[in-house]
Chains A and B, each alone.
Chain A
Amino acid sequence: MKQLTTPRMDQCIGCQSCALACARLVHKRISWQTSGIRIHSSGGLSTGFIANRCLACDPAPCTAVCPTGAFTNRRGGGVIVKANVCIQCGNCIAACPVDAICRDRVGNVYVCIHCGQCVEFCPQNCLEMVEVNGVAEVLP
């Protein structure tokens, strides 16, 4: 079982290709926001970039507050999402300690499912899929 990691974010150039890829390939959206990974600067473009994404908590606090079972714990950390049973209550967003879950204007929620499709769209090799037990430390 692998999870998405962002070990080389200091190489990020802010092209947002990863976010666009996740939205396009995973969530079937054209977006830089409704995706499992979202890139933003840490206080202006002169300060480098941060990737907002699921850190694969195990167990994940977002699953504990989900009233419908739309979010359940994924083996090894992170969540399995059943969008068809989500009632868009937003509890998961409030429960996530690292702001990894976003919602669109009609309330649909988006979170990384650790599929790794974004990795090949990073031109700077910032992202990497790593076996769960091989993750040495969590890097933002």
Chain B
Amino acid sequence: MAIAPASDPLSGTSLKADFPLLSRTVHGKQIVYLDSAATSQKPEQVLAAMDLYYRNFNANVHRGVYAIAEEATNAIEAAREGVRRFINARSTAEIIFTKNATESLNLVIQSWGRANLSDGDVVVLTHMEHHANIVPWHMLAAEKNLELRWIPLTDDGQLDLTDLDSLLKGAKALSATAMSNVLGAFNPVRTLTDAARAAGAISIIDGCQSVPHSITDVQAMGADFLAFSGHKMLGPTGIGVLWGREELLDAMPPFLGGGEMIRDVRLDGFTCNELPWKFEAGTPAIAEIIGLGAAVNYLEALGMDNVRAHERALTEYTLSTFSERFGDDISIHGPVDSSIRGGVFSFSFKDLHPHDVSQVLDQHAVCVRAGHHCAKPLMKLLGVGATARASVYIYNDTSDIESLGDALEQAGAFFAF
């Protein structure tokens, strides 16, 4: 299939200047950060927002009547509204702050799962899930005797939906990633959620990789739950989001108990607070929520359609450049069609182990991930123990890809047998 060359609306704008870390050197060389699928760098605007909170209105939220407590409360609720707008949720009642996407998934699986699943029930996952969307299901499956089914992959690293309807037959839940953190593939989420609904199953989407890199509209997505993390989308660590349909969240039992999540506590029991606070026990990560709010504002100002277009152009550049430069010496996993893949490149280079490759790259200040990417079942399917993975974001440009290519040549030369 011929692919029209993607135009890049962000090319020429140097976003690097907004990211203080990107100006540092490592081993005497300018850093080349290519591990945003693990965590993104943070712009000045996010750092300043968090700093301002601690310097100017550090107070606990939803408690004090004094001025700075109100300012802190207003700031996190403004961030919640920002996240709602960013993913087009109906109401802020549906935006629950967690500590990360892993906790978001565990919240759904433990709270919804324990209340709604029982002996012999079926849950459908995919072969490209992150451990965070596998292990909590294994834990619940052991407790509830659930049957886990797996959507397989095609040879080029897409979901193989041939038998989707039969896999979903009798299933109570489908839990799938919107974008693979290894293959870079964007999955057809609407197809999955429609099929799940037709089968009578709820759908849970892991948006860790997709939300930072593409337009997210939870109403158009047709899912029941969406989990994502703040730190992969320019925000700080320690903050994640769970979006859920309000009627489902309302019916679910609480996850963690404590302050904030209650309306009343008596010696003989308690009454839950309303949404979203029902699922936010304890003092929240106030500075981190504020930081995430600033990150969302930053991304909205860029425009998520522009973010996606920039990364699509960079994806095409990377795939064609590496193919020209390295030919058969490099093998990049996942689909080649940039319309269905993002800027995540897991690759094998010559016969070199990814640890050794990334060690040489580090000497050239090129930061890539090496390992199993918390997706061991997928690694097994790909027939590799580990891969090296380069991943891009808004601040990367073609010069970063060239630097990676140059460093790979050095790695090849160093280990030439």
Chain B associates with chain A: no
Q: Which B positions have Cβ atoms within 8 angstroms of A?
A: none
Task: Please report A residues at the B interface, Cβ cutoff 8 Å.
Answer: none
